[in-house]
Amino acid sequence: MRARFSHPAIDHRPGTEVVAVLPGPELLVTDADGQVRQVVADRLVLATGAVERFRPVLGGDLPGVHPLGGLQTLLKGSGVTPPEPVALAGRGPLLWLLAAQYAVLGVALSVVIDAGRPTAADWWAALRSRGDLVRQGLGFVVGVIRRRVPVAFATAVDAIQRDSRGLVVDAGGRRWRTATVGLAHGLRPDLALAAQAGCALDRDPMLGGWVVRRDACFATSVPGIHAIGEVAGIGGADLAWAEGLILATRLAARPPPPDALRAWDRADRFRRALAPWAADGDDVPDAPDAALGCVCEGVDLGRVRAAVAAGAADVATVKLATRAGMGRCQGRYCADTVAAIVHARTGRWSPPSTRWPIRPVSAAALAAMGEVGDGG
Ligand SMILES: Cc1cc2nc3c(=O)[nH]c(=O)nc-3n(C[C@H](O)[C@H](O)[C@H](O)COP(=O)(O)OP(=O)(O)OC[C@H]3O[C@@H](n4cnc5c(N)ncnc54)[C@H](O)[C@@H]3O)c2cc1C
Residues with CB under 6 A from ligand 1: 17-18, 47-52, 69, 72-73, 94, 97, 187, 190, 193, 229-230, 236-237, 240
- Of 87-96, 112-121, 343-352, 357-366, the poorest mean pLDDT is in 357-366
CA proximity to 218, closest of 178, 187, 175, 261: 261
pLDDT number for residue 371: 60
- Report the pLDDT averaged over residues 82-102: 96
What confidence tier does 96 reach under pLDDT thresholds 50, 70, 90? very high
Q: By alpha-carbon position, which residue is closest to atom 22 of ligand 1?
A: 237
pLDDT number for residue 25: 86
pTM for this entry: 0.91
> What integer best gives the mean pLDDT of the chain?
92
- Per-residue pLDDT reduced to its tens digit, 171-195: 999 999 999 999 998 899 999 999 9
What confidence tier does 362 reach under pLDDT thresholds 50, 70, 90? confident
Ligand 1 centroid from CA 347, angstroms? 31
- Dihedral over Cα of 33, 36, 40, 43: its sign: positive
pLDDT number for residue 370: 64
Q: At what angle do helices 258-278 and 237-251 cross, to 10 degrees?
A: 140
pLDDT of 314 higher than 70: yes
Ligand 1 centroid from CA 50, angstroms? 6
pLDDT number for residue 375: 41
- Per-residue pLDDT reduced to its tens digit, 247-265: 999 999 999 999 999 999 9
pLDDT of 64 higher than 50: yes
Ligand 1 centroid from CA 231, angstroms? 9
Strand ranges for 150-214 from DSSP E: 151-153, 157-163, 166-171, 174-178, 180-185, 187-189, 201-204, 209-212
- Report the pLDDT averaged over residues 145-158: 95
**Contact yes or no for 304/318 (Cβ under 8 A):** yes
pLDDT-above-70 percentage for the chain: 97
